[in-house]
Amino acid sequence: MMMSRQRHILLMLAALVLPYSVRAFFHRPAIPTFVRHELNGIAAPMTVAMNGIHPSFSSTAPALASVVTGKWIPFRPARISLTSSSLMLSLRGGNIGVGAAALPMALLSPSLPASIAAALLPTCLGLWRTGYAVSYGYGGAMATAGALAICSGGAGGPVATSHAAALVFYGLRLCLFLLRRETTTPVEIHQMTRRDASMGDRLKRAPVVVGCSVLYFLMAAPLRITARTSLSSSASLLASSPASLVSLAAAFSGFGLAAWGDGHKSAVKAVRGPDTLVTTGPFRVFRHPNYTGEIIGWTASLSVAMFEAVRHYRQLSGASAAVFVRFAAPWIVASVLGWAGMCGVLAGEATAGLEKKQKKKYGDTPEYKAWIGSSWSGPMITSSS
């Protein structure tokens, strides 16, 4: 038992350093064309070039020579040479302040290999135990995606930062809950049964691991949209778009509801036994608050990205608008696919499946019948069979 706890502690420590490791090994910021286009509209002609893995900016605009703030990632020094008519910046990370506005390195948000690694590496825990791909792997991928956006400077504005923080909150909370439940409750409750498997058997799980990681990658896609639009976002969260603020509040509320549901159900079953029908706490209103909360949270996460994309697009014109559309379109499609995939799983296999199990197990009891009449299942997809 002690050895098992030590392994779990090491697992969580590894999860904490994973975002930094992914960034260090996979993050190679690629400067997209739209940076040049939009800065043309803000200040003056500006060219962007690459110097190894360090982005190099060159401008003849005196306005860009006013650098008022610099926030550099630890152990990532920056070199700045400044003259009266030009500004050269060679960076390894962080934010650049230009005049009164910040030009966030969100424009250089996590590279595609880094984002793929953030989704895949935690999910590879499924090669150890199959259930880990959809538990620790799920939470770890979401937390890593959000932390990677923040660590790499990909969450420069208040909306983008809050959006990334919502994913970190959800993923970290889920992993900590799963760890506590697995190490303090009987296997009948946490259901993470250990099965011996050969290397060949483990490799047969690869399709499941890859499939889950693709879904997690798509679910994190909205972060790229909010990071991209942070160039034109307000410096204050309270001054941001009301629609974005409502969506952010809904995201945290949904993920908070899921946390409350998980914690309450686990606590009740730990005291009364695994066969207990939980109808107290959030279960008075929601029969499956963890699944309903997640659906609310992921719907709100997509909404934040959509509202920010529309707001940002309305501020653009001409070439800048066209470039933004070319950037945003594939990530919007990816975001919708991720949302639809996860909500389909939650409303179908998760909610509808648990409804059937509970009806079969408790359907004849007065408590269950009264509970069904006074509570909501949440969004549910039922099969025709």
Residue 254 has pLDDT above 80, yes or no: yes
Q: How far is Cα 325 from Cα 219, in angstroms, rounded to an integer?
A: 20
Residue 324 has pLDDT above 60, yes or no: yes
pLDDT classification of 50: cutoffs 50, 70, 90: very low
Q: By three-state DSSP, how is residue 195 classified?
A: coil
pLDDT at 128: 82
Select the more confidently predicted residue: 142 or 32.
Answer: 142
pLDDT band (50, 70, 90) for residue 155: low
Residue-wise pLDDT tens digits, 211-235: 999 999 999 999 999 988 876 666 6
Residue 158: the pLDDT is 87
DSSP letters for 26-92: H------HHHHHHHHHHSS-EEEEEETTEEEEEE--GGGG-EEEEE--TT---EEEE-SS-EEEE-S
Q: pTM of the full predicted structure?
A: 0.75
Instruction: Please state, as a whole number, how many other Cβ atoms lie within 10 Å of the Cβ of residue 280.
Output: 9
> Rounded to whole angstroms, how far apart are CA atoms 287 and 277?
10
Question: Which pLDDT band holds residue 348 (cuts at 50, 70, 90)?
Answer: very high
* Residue 347, number of CB atoms within 10 A of its CB: 21
CB count within 10 Å of CB 235 equals 11
Could you tell me the two tokens for 171?
A: 């993923």
pLDDT tens digits, 157-212: 889 999 999 999 999 999 999 998 888 876 655 556 666 666 777 778 899 999 99
Three-state secondary-structure class, residue 101: strand
